[in-house]
């Protein structure tokens, strides 16, 4: 379990921040921002030049929140992946319940 910090610090400068995610779309960056803020993690989204992976939007948090923020984003991403598989299965097999034959 990730420990919560009692002394919350306000984000004052991009120099104090660490990049935790690079994304292609502003909507995804805003989703990460909302998720982190709901977990009381200061966050900043910045659009800029493309990085080596070709993604130009960066999500940043203060260094002391890096581990906690990554765990939260990875957990949400795993949930989203699970949901995508469930929806794909429903589309593949139909939405009607299976009937048991005895």
pLDDT score recorded for residue 38:
96
pLDDT score recorded for residue 54:
65
pLDDT tens for 71-92 read 999 988 766 656 566 565 555 6
Mean of all residue pLDDT scores within the chain = 77
**For 15-93, which CATH class?**
alpha beta
Q: Is the pLDDT of residue 8 over 60?
A: no
pLDDT score recorded for residue 1:
41
Beta-strand ranges (E) seen in the chain are 17-23, 44-47, 57-62
pLDDT score recorded for residue 85:
63
Exposure letters 81-101 (e unless 16+ CB within 10 A, then b): eeeeeeeeeeeeeeeeeeeee
Spatial separation of the C-alpha atoms in residues 75 and 35, rounded to whole Å = 11
Sheet containing strand 57-62, edge to edge, reads 17-23, 57-62, 44-47
pLDDT tens for 25-58 read 999 999 999 999 999 999 999 987 765 556 789 9
The residues spanned by each domain of the chain are: 15-93
- Model confidence at 3, in pLDDT bands (50, 70, 90)? very low
């Amino acid at each position: 379990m990730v420990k919560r910090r009692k002394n919350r610090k306000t984000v004052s400068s991009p120099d104090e921040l660490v990049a935790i995610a690079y994304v292609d779309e502003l909507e995804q960056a805003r989703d990460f921002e909302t998720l982190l803020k709901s977990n009381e993690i200061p966050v900043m989204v910045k659009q800029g030049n493309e990085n080596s992976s070709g993604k130009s939007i960066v999500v940043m948090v203060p260094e002391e929140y890096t581990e906690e923020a990554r765990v939260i984003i990875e957990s949400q991403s795993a949930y989203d992946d699970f949901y995508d598989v469930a929806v794909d299965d429903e589309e593949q097999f139909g939405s009607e319940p299976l009937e048991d034959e005895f």
